[in-house]
Amino acid sequence: MNVFCRAAAIMTALATVSSHAPAQTLAPSDAEAKRRTSLLNEIVMDYLRTDPEPPPGYNDILVKAESYINQRLSKANEPFRYDAKTRIISDRK
């Protein structure tokens, strides 16, 4: 399976709000979660197209791309950020 196929499959699984989120944080609706998943997947695909030497493992790709992902989310004025170490999409505070 190539990197792009792995990326799409794993991003779908990862782009959810963690059950470890603080109690005051409300989980997004199903439609919002799907929108965030789609946006995050698109950003990671863009990153992989521009990286001349993507890491071999998907976890490494996410760690390496975290700042790129969050810069793109910030430029798009999105109210959430991605944390590669905990694999959580969280609302900005």
How crowded is the C-beta side of 87, counted as CA atoms within 13 Å? 14
Residues 5-46: pLDDT tens digits? 556 655 655 554 443 444 445 566 888 888 888 898 899 889
Q: Given this model, what pLDDT does residue 31 score?
A: 87
Q: Given this model, what pLDDT does residue 56 score?
A: 79
- In the chain, the percentage of residues whose pLDDT exceeds 90 is 13
* Positive or negative: CA dihedral 80, 43, 87, 20: positive
Q: Given this model, what pLDDT does residue 75 score?
A: 93
pTM > 0.75: yes or no = no
The full DSSP string for 26-66 is PPPPHHHHHHHHHHHHHHHHHHHHH-SS--SSHHHHHHHHH
